[in-house]
Structure 1
């Protein structure tokens, strides 16, 4: 027999976050264990210093005030909860006594959600946990603390959840737009649309005697006018969204964000007293939240896509570095860090290209692809290092080749200049798309790669080590796919080429010298410093490249992922390859950490600054490097080269 009460509760909860993130089975399980509570007006649900209940609460009907004692004085209201709002989360998140009071403002029905039932769901679903933490921060006025996350999740869960960690400066007031465009309800939709186009805005608030009664956005025009549901001459009141959700001007970022999520809307109206019955003074949009909470990956991605100037991208990129610092400080697994930062870096490069294209009057004469090379091509460029990039464009007749190439070189000059402004230094060896040597047609690139593979001297092998690790950042992927296939066709069964690639892996032997001392630079600017890139990162990177290339595996550029694939392909060497994967990530994280610490590339390490634990970790990495070098020496019969 169906539990009709549980079904009704589930029907209510499924319309409110975070319950809308649950599966049907999870929702019914929770709903069947909910306690339905009725309270008269001005009844205390829990008081300051009360022991935490075994449940948290959701308002079904009515209103609940959350109050906090200020400096030993009387209680003041810090938040009001109405239908669908969550409160009383402290026992779930912090497992502590309450520090605020919850009291009904009117007759209310409240659902008690058992913590014992809900905690396993939180541990399985990071989105649910993150929403609860943000709700907790919002309605308690407590600063967000990683301590709470550790209490909410088990230690094993933290690594999985941390990629969505936010540095909640969310309790700062949200900046809002004060110059809001408004119109009366009887205005025609056509005039409102013309206003939005003229002012380049995405919304207009509908007001009556300065009181907000509705809002119209681009989406409303698309869904109600473009579809033909209403004529363009219809009064705007017929298509506006109403009622509007209103908040006071001191609304925090967390409160605004949760309100937008809860009501599934894109704008909040700011009124004089925070109610829909007072004068409109401003507007908060999702974009305002984006700007305010600029250290969340999804938020940063949206900001990058909307950036209209290089200076905007520069500010966003600075926030990416703040995000990276937070990830490193919290010891998040490098796999998560690399994926997130690489996506943000790729989006930044793409936006630089889009902005540069917009500055050139002519459209590209043919299809092209912008290739990121080296560490960015391998998805390993976390810090600001120098640029390595190239352009491949569609083949053209000889008469048009120079003209076409000139267009793309001009484009590349604009792009590399923008990237330099963001903090990516120009390549000292000029391995950039702005160099005519690295801005070539598809056939020219094929000829170039064929020459390097056929005549693999030291210079050619060095160039292969850079250009073989390419990844498309913008443009037509068919061009890079063809180029990749050409490389594999030319290297297949080419034992001499692989021997030369293998030889390059052995150029830098295991970084430990006699008596297990580190080999350091003997002269120059970095005398007595350890070159982490040359003596550790490059050997493991080169080893992964030659081995994966010999297996003819395309589209895996990341060093750690290459070794993980090799572990599948060669079970007999699985442990060594997995150790190499770990080593590549450990070295990259080590370099990133020290680069952030010293505000440089992290390449050169001052050994005296290392802790004993850090030195031991590096030495374990060096042991793996020595073992993979031995494997390559035997596999490619390189004793004659040594």
Structure 2
């Protein structure tokens, strides 16, 4: 009979972390030492400030509330671990454990578990991340939580992923073929041929890099232009060179190559171009290290104007995204790579539209414009092909060309949207797109829009401002967008009480936990009992980050992570809160993207019952920074007075 009970205990324990991380022998040992307690409704298992007992607990059946005096702090349900202060820190209990319904509790002796805690890093990280109820770490450090989740994954990371955390895995050439600036083009070509390399670095005698010559330079600058072979390499080389430190992290090195469209990146001793060269990294090296490279996708996009091929490449990017997310690659890297790919698709779509309209509108060829991305793409956070949010801004046309310019840019906007939808992006349900005449306007009209929104902050105006404050120029002339940005910030400085209306909007959605610490789910039929991760968790953080950076007049930072990072610099006393908020947003982005990839949708609505226990705990842990930031905003912008 005893063996039957132990087996049942064991079967139950292995369903839940941290017991699910134990090997069979350790699990059997723990199960054999478990004491089973029946507790009736209204009983107290332990009280606040009581000396911790030599056991911690896991709830088998029933429901237990954790209270700080009379305030409910957490609810424990089936599989929840609690009362772990005996295991961690051996301090008095910080909560009172009250039985809300008749309950069956497994008591686990600390003595049998301490040795496991020492030797099992997964178990240690589970507790360190703050996943157990009522433990020493009241407020979970979200960065530790992310680390724990990564370590606790069942899958083993393969060799190709190691490069994201270990730059030593990147194979690059330390023997760099060099030539003096006084040499000729022919000498450079002979050296390249002799060494069977596709590039040569032009260096001073002290090995300070001045420029680089590639096969493409020889083809385009020498052969195509019939330059004499005795021409100096200084006249052919690409200069100045972009350099990085040899020991820089892979994300830093690789993103430099992607953003600057480099096939070769020069590595120097201190990372500056005034330091001796010590290596060179090629996109071929990256391919050999990774097996798959965003640079390849971007290169392919830049060399096609076929919409069907662009869609195929973006489909491949989705596969790459899935791999990155499943293997816990840093979100800032993932978001940067996907943003770069999305931006190139948009730029190619704009180029295709311009070429199609060039003969019809020759007089408007020189009229400047900027294609603005809004929403998640404007913030450099669009991982999935979710709704398109964009606008078109063009300089005020010469007198007499206003109607023609309006027609041209509306046709341009329509063609771009058609191309993006054909690439798999979804049209905006609210029609906030360049195909809508309302959001395809000259600079003077855009300035008037923002002035009206700021000076007359009706609910619709505040909503519009929230959407359009995240604009980012992706194609065309960035100077137009900069002009509009400066106008916006100047106007806000003259009408600072507008920020209070934005503040009201930022606190409308409270942290999404009900009275019993359950996720607040939708009540409407279409998404009934589903959790809206966008509206209830992500948007509050987006709105709060935007509001606070606007209040400082920070120009040019739209990304939510970077906004929180900048706020940490501006307010050192609140730096920890902003760091936690950034980490929370990162977790939410990853969860939504994984949900979207799994169900081939936008990932917005999640069924809580389909989430693992660890996922639910991690999701709930992201709500704490929302509550703290909303309280900070409520006080700072005197929002209670505004409502009164």
Quick check: TM above 0.5? yes
* 1:226 has 2:237 as partner: no
Partner of 1:51: none
Matches within 5 A, 1:490-569: 490-492=491-493, 494-569=495-570
1:336 to 321, 324, 333: 333
Q: Name the SS of the counterpart of 2:400 in structure 1.
A: helix
Partner of 1:306: 303
Q: State the distance in 2 between where 1:347 and 1:162 align.
A: 30
Deviations, residues 168-226 of structure 1 (Å, cap 9, x unaligned): xxxxxxxxxxxxxxxxxxxxxxxxxxxxxxxxxxxxxxxxxxxxxxxx99944742462
1:147 to 110, 135, 158: 158
Q: 1:227, CA displacement in angstroms?
A: 3.6
Asked if the contact 2:592–2:603 (Cα under 8 Å) also holds between the matched residues in 1, the reply is yes
Deviations, residues 484-539 of structure 1 (Å, cap 9, x unaligned): 00000011153321110000011111110111111110113101100111100000
Partner of 1:104: none
Q: 1:403, CA displacement in angstroms?
A: 1.2
Deviations, residues 8-34 of structure 1 (Å, cap 9, x unaligned): xxxxxxxxxxxxxxxxxxxxxxxxxxx
Q: Name the SS of the counterpart of 1:495 in structure 2.
A: coil
Number of aligned residues: 388
Q: State the distance in 1 between where 2:343 and 2:460 align.
A: 29
Q: State the distance in 2 between where 1:564 and 1:368 align.
A: 31
Q: State the distance in 2 between where 1:396 and 1:217 align.
A: 40
Q: State the distance in 2 between where 1:455 and 1:513 align.
A: 35
Gaps of 5+ in 2: 1-155, 172-214, 231-262, 265-282
Q: Name the SS of the counterpart of 1:472 in structure 2.
A: strand
Partner of 1:159: 165
Partner of 2:474: 473
Q: State the distance in 1 between where 2:582 and 2:170 align.
A: 24
Q: State the distance in 1 between where 2:168 and 2:528 align.
A: 38
Q: State the distance in 2 between where 1:426 and 1:457 align.
A: 26
Change (3 A) 1:312 1:368: same
Q: 1:146, CA displacement in angstroms?
A: 4.7
Q: 1:335, CA displacement in angstroms?
A: 0.8
Q: State the distance in 1 between where 2:410 and 2:158 align.
A: 52
Gaps of 5+ in 1: 1-144, 166-215, 232-264, 267-285
Change (3 A) 1:315 1:158: closer
TM-score, with normalisation over the residues of structure 1? 0.57
Q: State the distance in 2 between where 1:429 and 1:148 align.
A: 45
TM-score, with normalisation over the residues of structure 2? 0.57
Structure 1 consecutive aligned stretches of length 4 or more whose deviation exceeds 6 Å: 162-165
Asked if the contact 2:221–2:227 (Cα under 8 Å) also holds between the matched residues in 1, the reply is no
Partner of 2:353: 356
Deviations, residues 105-155 of structure 1 (Å, cap 9, x unaligned): xxxxxxxxxxxxxxxxxxxxxxxxxxxxxxxxxxxxxxxx953457xx6xx
Partner of 1:11: none
Partner of 1:605: 606
Q: Name the SS of the counterpart of 2:435 in structure 1.
A: coil
Q: State the distance in 2 between where 1:618 and 1:379 align.
A: 22
Matches within 5 A, 1:149-548: 158-159=164-165, 161=167, 219-220=218-219, 222-224=221-223, 226-229=225-228, 295-360=292-357, 361=359, 362-363=361-362, 364-365=364-365, 366-492=367-493, 494-548=495-549
Q: Name the SS of the counterpart of 2:473 in structure 1.
A: strand
Partner of 1:101: none
Q: Name the SS of the counterpart of 2:490 in structure 1.
A: helix
Partner of 1:616: 617
